[in-house]
């Protein structure tokens, strides 16, 4: 049980390395070997879901000393946030391999080895609880992706790959500097008495506002590039257009989430003061991204580019939700990450299907496909509906929660962001209209083969999950709730303190903790005061507790999932 997570992470790369020993003509071995490895990884990760206990603790934790001299551990574990991202990665894995059976005919061996290495890199990054380990996996992801674009890509693949690389490496290197700084200035591990890369320990770091600000910016830049947050997005359309289908699916489905995941796992909890300080600029950028991405997507002539810009818009929602600093926005954001992985993954798969048949992605080369390929039409329209957030499918839940949360945080930004709901429908339905409907004008499209059994097999699990996630978000949301509360607990404290400072300047210097409840603003918090008193609030946490904004995360005391707000530290649980 303890090693399950590690098996999941390393199974792909082990199979990949073993495949290096196989002669390169054995296509079937590479194809089926990778598929089975990915499938096994997926089935192995199902016990994670079963064994996961809804709580705010890290689970399936493994902690082994790696380089003890530097306080570097092999330290992995999952909580309610990473659980689902791991599952998403492992679900898409076998489907992506299956989708490449006919598309990849060149350098087959290398392709599948890289895909497997990439899988391990992504899984490792999602489960790492050690910053050094995280950075290691982060870089492991980068190189296979670079090669996938640069070797198996389209005509401008070199340009796209280098652009992808430069963008990413700039962010990564700054993050590395920040990690090292944090290591040197962070707290020592009480167990060893040394400096440490352990995230759970570093969460207790006592950094000045200026230190936090710089460190936050370095982390946030690396993650914002990965998201990508406007205006750091221009690598994405090029990378997507040039990447082979499998690369695009992995890129959109999983790799982009690495950015948003990094924000909620590291940037926000590690540097809460800075997160609050930089909240507004990031919110504004994400809202610009939503609208800008949608508008630019609208006028694209290349299907893949259109979907790429739609990702800029959708990921804007994710960042918006994360920085709304309430549970609604944050849960919506994580849900949107999963939902976008499915819907955009499926879109790229479908574009790949049609590209394989026609070798073009120009929208004007199509039209009227509904007459010749009804299965494809059904699948494409269904995916479109998921992407535009039709209620009943996955997209709606995330979008709705993000917008609801954002509206509570900032009315104006919430309203502008909500206009993305209209623009999303415009660019997707316009695409559908030009792609599938209208008269069949191009001779080449008259004898297109429809989806075959293998392609159905790739899409069917995604479609089923789209419906399930649309109808039953509860199992997802309830599992992520405690982890999200924990991730935001320090931000909550900062904001509560700031709110109190604003109302009663000098409160923190003057009053002792015990007096604080009595001096809490009576006007608007007679009820929140009650709530706070019922909450377990020991010692020095009391004054923070009483000031809780009624709009904040912790309104729901009746759900009994209170986290001690003063306990901003993740705690590894020994299971």
- Minimum CB separation of residue 391 from another protein in Å reads 4
Measured in degrees and rounded to the nearest 5, phi and psi for residue 10 equal -95, -10
Measured in degrees and rounded to the nearest 5, phi and psi for residue 73 equal -120, 155
Among 88, 220, 397, 402, binds another protein (CB under 8 A): 397
- Minimum CB separation of residue 292 from another protein in Å reads 6
- Minimum CB separation of residue 308 from another protein in Å reads 11
Q: Which is nearer to another protein, 430 or 508 (CB)?
A: 430
Q: Which is nearer to another protein, 59 or 326 (CB)?
A: 326
- Minimum CB separation of residue 21 from another protein in Å reads 22
Does 187 help bind another protein (rule: CB under 8 A)?
A: no
Given a contact cutoff of 8 angstroms between Cβ atoms, the answer to whether 370 and 437 are in contact is yes
Element (H, E) at 62: strand 59-67
**CB contact set of 297 (below 8 Å; sequence gap of 6+):** 306, 307, 308, 309, 310, 312, 313, 427
Does 143 help bind another protein (rule: CB under 8 A)?
A: yes
> By CB under 8 A, how many residues form the interface with another protein?
80
Q: Which string of x and - marks every residue 208-237 that binds another protein (by CB under 8 A)? A: -----------------------x--xx-x
Among 29, 404, 499, 569, binds another protein (CB under 8 A): 404
Element (H, E) at 76: strand 72-78
Does 368 help bind another protein (rule: CB under 8 A)?
A: yes
Binding to another protein, residues 24-83 (CB under 8 A)? 67, 69-70
Binding to another protein, residues 470-509 (CB under 8 A)? 471-474, 477-478, 481
Among 112, 167, 197, 323, binds another protein (CB under 8 A): 167
Given a contact cutoff of 8 angstroms between Cβ atoms, the answer to whether 484 and 81 are in contact is yes
DSSP per residue, 362-423: BGGG---GGGT-HHHHHHHHHHHHHHTT-BTBHHHHHHHHHHHHHHHH-HHHHHHHHHHHHH
Does 438 help bind another protein (rule: CB under 8 A)?
A: yes
In three-state secondary structure terms, 516 is coil
Does 449 help bind another protein (rule: CB under 8 A)?
A: no
Does 261 help bind another protein (rule: CB under 8 A)?
A: no
From the list 34-42, 47-55, 192-200, 324-332, the region that binds another protein by CB under 8 A is 324-332
Tell me, letter by letter, the H, E, C secondary structure of 164-179: HHHHHHHHHHHHHHHH
Among 3, 102, 105, 419, binds another protein (CB under 8 A): 419
Given a contact cutoff of 8 angstroms between Cβ atoms, the answer to whether 377 and 302 are in contact is no
From the list 95-103, 179-187, 292-300, 339-347, the region that binds another protein by CB under 8 A is 292-300
Among 365, 425, 467, 498, binds another protein (CB under 8 A): 425
Binding to another protein, residues 105-134 (CB under 8 A)? none
DSSP per residue, 268-311: HHH-HHHHHHTHHHHHHHHHHHHHHHHHHHHT-SBHHHHHHHHH
- Minimum CB separation of residue 557 from another protein in Å reads 9
DSSP per residue, 500-514: HHHHSTTHHHHS-GG
Does 375 help bind another protein (rule: CB under 8 A)?
A: yes
Q: Which is nearer to another protein, 24 or 411 (CB)?
A: 411
Does 384 help bind another protein (rule: CB under 8 A)?
A: no
Nearest one of 126, 153, 133, 159 to 58, comparing CA atoms = 126
Q: Which is nearer to another protein, 326 or 383 (CB)?
A: 326
**CB contact set of 61 (below 8 Å; sequence gap of 6+):** 2, 75, 76, 77, 129, 572, 573, 574, 575
Does 328 help bind another protein (rule: CB under 8 A)?
A: yes
In three-state secondary structure terms, 486 is helix
Does 521 help bind another protein (rule: CB under 8 A)?
A: no
- The DSSP bridge partners found for residue 76 are 62, 128
């Amino acid at each position: 049980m303890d090693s399950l997570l590690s098996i999941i992470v390393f199974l792909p790369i082990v199979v990949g390395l073993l495949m290096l020993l196989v002669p390169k003509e054995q296509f079937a071995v590479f194809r089926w070997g990778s598929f089975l490895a990915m499938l096994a990884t997926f089935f192995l990760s199902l016990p994670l879901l079963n064994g996961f206990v809804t709580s705010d603790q890290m689970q399936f934790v493994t902690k082994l000393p790696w380089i003890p001299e530097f306080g570097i551990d092999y330290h992995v574990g999952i909580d309610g946030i990473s659980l689902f991202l791991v599952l998403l990665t492992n679900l898409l894995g076998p489907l992506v391999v299956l989708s490449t059976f006919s598309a990849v005919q060149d350098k087959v061996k290398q392709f599948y080895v890289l895909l497997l290495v990439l899988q391990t890199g992504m899984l490792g990054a999602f489960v790492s609880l050690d910053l050094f380990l995280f950075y290691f996996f982060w870089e492991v992801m980068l190189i296979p992706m670079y090669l996938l674009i640069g070797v198996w890509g389209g005509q401008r693949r070199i340009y796209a790959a280098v652009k992808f690389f430069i963008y990413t490496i700039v962010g990564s290197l700054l993050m590395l500097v920040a990690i090292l700084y944090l290591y040197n200035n962070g707290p020592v591990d009480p167990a060893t008495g040394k400096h440490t890369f352990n995230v759970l320990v570093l969460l207790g770091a006592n950094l000045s506002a200026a230190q936090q600000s710089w460190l936050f910016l370095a982390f946030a830049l690396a993650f914002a590039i990965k998201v990508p947050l406007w205006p750091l997005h221009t690598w994405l359309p090029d990378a997507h257009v040039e990447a082979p289908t499998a690369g695009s699916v992995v890129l959109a489905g999983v790799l982009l989430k690495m950015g948003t995941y990094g924000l909620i796992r590291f940037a926000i909890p590690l540097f809460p003061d800075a997160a609050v300080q930089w909240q507004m600029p990031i919110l504004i950028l994400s809202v610009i991204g939503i609208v800008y991405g949608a508008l630019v997507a609208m006028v694209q002539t290349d299907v893949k580019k259109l979907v790429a810009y739609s990702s800029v818009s959708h990921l804007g929602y994710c960042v918006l939700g994360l920085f709304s600093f309430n549970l609604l926005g944050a849960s919506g954001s994580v849900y949107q990450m999963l939902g976008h992985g499915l819907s955009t993954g499926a879109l790229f798969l479908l574009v790949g299907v049609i590209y394989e048949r026609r070798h073009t992605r120009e929208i004007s080369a199509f039209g009227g496909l509904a007459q010749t390929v009804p299965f494809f039409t059904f699948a494409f329209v269904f995916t479109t509906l998921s992407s535009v957030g039709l209620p009943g499918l996955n997209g709606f839940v995330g979008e709705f929660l993000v917008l609801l949360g954002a509206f509570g945080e900032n009315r104006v930004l919430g309203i502008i962001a909500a206009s993305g709901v209209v623009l999303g429908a415009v660019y997707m339905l316009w695409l559908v209209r030009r792609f599938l409907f209208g008269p069949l004008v191009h001779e080449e499209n008259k004898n297109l083969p429809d989806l075959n059994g293998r392609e159905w097999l790739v899409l069917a699990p995604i479609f089923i999950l789209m419906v399930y996630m649309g109808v039953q978000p509860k199992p997802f949301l309830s599992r992520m709730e405690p982890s999200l509360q924990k991730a935001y607990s320090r931000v909550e404290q900062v904001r509560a303190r700031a709110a109190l400072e604003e109302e009663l300047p000098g409160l923190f210097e003057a009053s002792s903790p015990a007096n604080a409840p009595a001096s809490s603003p009576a006007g608007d918090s007679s009820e929140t005061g009650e709530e706070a008193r019922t909450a377990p609030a020991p010692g020095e946490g009391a004054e923070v507790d009483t000031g809780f904004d009624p709009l904040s995360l912790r309104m729901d005391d009746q759900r009994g999932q209170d986290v001690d707000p003063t306990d901003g530290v993740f705690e590894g649980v020994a299971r």
